[in-house]
Structure 1
């Protein structure tokens, strides 16, 4: 297992470096921070002093090397806008994103297991066709459209739900519903396909021939073996939620890492943007490791390959 973890760490190091370098360079293409943080009446001397003080006058490669060496010493810089520690701001915003992603995935997994197993238990029935059509439609709907329609219908027109914020349980409904639709649709398809194969497998027929009840056959035998592909897809979707919550957090004013990234780009707050991307990239790396370990624990064939 330790060898497997080392291989995964090495293979993920290069993409992580590329992401950090890409964000570092692209952030500086957003414009000169001096034009944003200094008044319009600022003189050329004031602009030059601001640029030199923040190190923006040095070549990009020198700036990047300074950034890497500072990160190695756990120094992530300070926010140009607030003067706070950049990593502290990223870590303060990240739990809100994790709460949103975790709640969404728990609801998606539970709902998909119920609906997918129900559809697979009666293949080609009306229930199966309704579940398949609904899940395919849900998997195809873009998040931003669902978010906008949700605000328009339930917040603006009906006035049932708030348009933004995190105060009260009602504020969670639209963000979670928006993020939930696509993962639910994808997982229903995966669970249904895996359960159809599992329920027709020989070991299920043997269990039934020995007098096992249908609930035990479905939950104890078929679902256990169908869990491995569903877990992999659920893990990938969770990574996508953490990485792709930018639009939803921006629309609903959710104080997570995605909104912090957008605000940092608009405010040309390079240090905060870099810290937010680094936290997100490391989280995705750890999630991928956990997905691989979980898949290995569920599938003996994969486990043997990991342990060797």
Structure 2
């Protein structure tokens, strides 16, 4: 197991390095920050002084060399917009996204696993049909449309919750609700399909012949064996949430890392963009490693 973790870590570090190199050069294609932060009629001498003060006057390859040297020290430079270390800015925003994604995925997993298992107990029944329609609708609805409709109905028309912000627990309801819909629909379908396969296996028939209760068969014996594909899809959906939940955070004004990345790209704040990509990629790598270890826990055969 130790060799497996080490091997995965090395592969992930190479991937992370390649991603940072790609983002470094692509971010420079957005334009010159001096043209954005200085007045239109600013003389060229002022623009040049602005670039020199921030190390943007050097050739691109020289800037990349300085970036690699600083990367070893985990130094991404200062934010152009906030005049603070870029990594500190990202660290402040990341817990908001982490909390939003964690609460959402916990609710999604509980609801999808319970409803998916119940739907698989009687295939073709009323509950199964209703849950299938709900899951297909939820999985197909785009996030931005759900967010706009949720604001119009629950915030504007009914006035039950605020439209944006993070001041009270009520501000979290709409972002969590919108993020909940799509992963819930996808994971519910996977749970139902996996449970149908597990409930038709030989060991389940043996348990029924021995008189084991249906509830124990479903939620103890079959559910554990049906969880491997569920974990795969849940990990993919959680990675999407950790990746910023860009649309939801932008619509609701949520101060997470997704909104921070969008704002930094528009503001040509290269240091913050690179720091945000770095931290998000590390979080996704750790989550994928945790998923692989969970596979081995659920199915001992995977360890070998």
Tell me the residue number matched to 1:134. 134
Which has the larger displacement, 171-180 or 31-40? Answer: 31-40
Instruction: Give the Å deviation of 1:123.
Output: 0.5
Q: Say whether 1:112 aligns with 2:84.
A: no
Q: Is the 8 A contact 1:51 1:57 kept in 2?
A: yes
Q: Say whether 1:288 aligns with 2:288.
A: yes
Query: What SS is found at the alignment partner of 2:124?
Result: coil
Number of aligned positions between the proteins: 304
Task: State the distance in 2 between where 1:300 and 1:92 align.
Answer: 39
Instruction: Give the Å deviation of 1:39.
Output: 2.7
Which has the larger displacement, 248-257 or 152-161? Answer: 152-161
Query: What SS is found at the alignment partner of 2:116?
Result: helix
Tell me the residue number matched to 1:235. 235
Instruction: Give the Å deviation of 1:140.
Output: 0.9
Q: Is the 8 A contact 2:143 2:178 kept in 1?
A: yes
Task: State the distance in 2 between where 1:136 and 1:270 align.
Answer: 40
Tell me the residue number matched to 1:253. 253
- Describe the superposition over 1:132-184 as per-residue Cα deviations: whole angstroms up to 9, x where unpaired: 12101111111111111111222222222111111112111111111111110
Tell me the residue number matched to 1:199. 199
Q: Is the 8 A contact 2:244 2:256 kept in 1?
A: no
Matches within 5 A, 1:140-179: 140-179=140-179
Tell me the residue number matched to 2:182. 182
Task: State the distance in 1 between where 2:163 and 2:130 align.
Answer: 31
**How much is the aligned-residue C-alpha RMSD, in angstroms?**
1.3
Instruction: Give the Å deviation of 1:29.
Output: 1.5
Task: State the distance in 2 between where 1:72 and 1:210 align.
Answer: 61
Instruction: Give the Å deviation of 1:222.
Output: 0.8
Q: Say whether 1:89 aligns with 2:95.
A: no
Tell me the residue number matched to 1:42. 42
Query: What SS is found at the alignment partner of 1:235?
Result: helix
Tell me the residue number matched to 2:214. 214
- Describe the superposition over 1:244-267 as per-residue Cα deviations: whole angstroms up to 9, x where unpaired: 501110110101000111111121
Matches within 5 A, 1:52-131: 52-131=52-131
TM-score by length of 1: 0.95
**Gapped runs of 5+ residues in structure 2?**
none
**Gapped runs of 5+ residues in structure 1?**
none
- Describe the superposition over 1:212-257 as per-residue Cα deviations: whole angstroms up to 9, x where unpaired: 2222111110111112221121111101111150111011010100
Task: State the distance in 1 between where 2:129 and 2:159 align.
Answer: 34
Q: Is the 8 A contact 1:34 1:50 kept in 2?
A: yes
TM-score by length of 2: 0.96
Tell me the residue number matched to 1:31. 31
Q: Is the 8 A contact 2:187 2:234 kept in 1?
A: yes
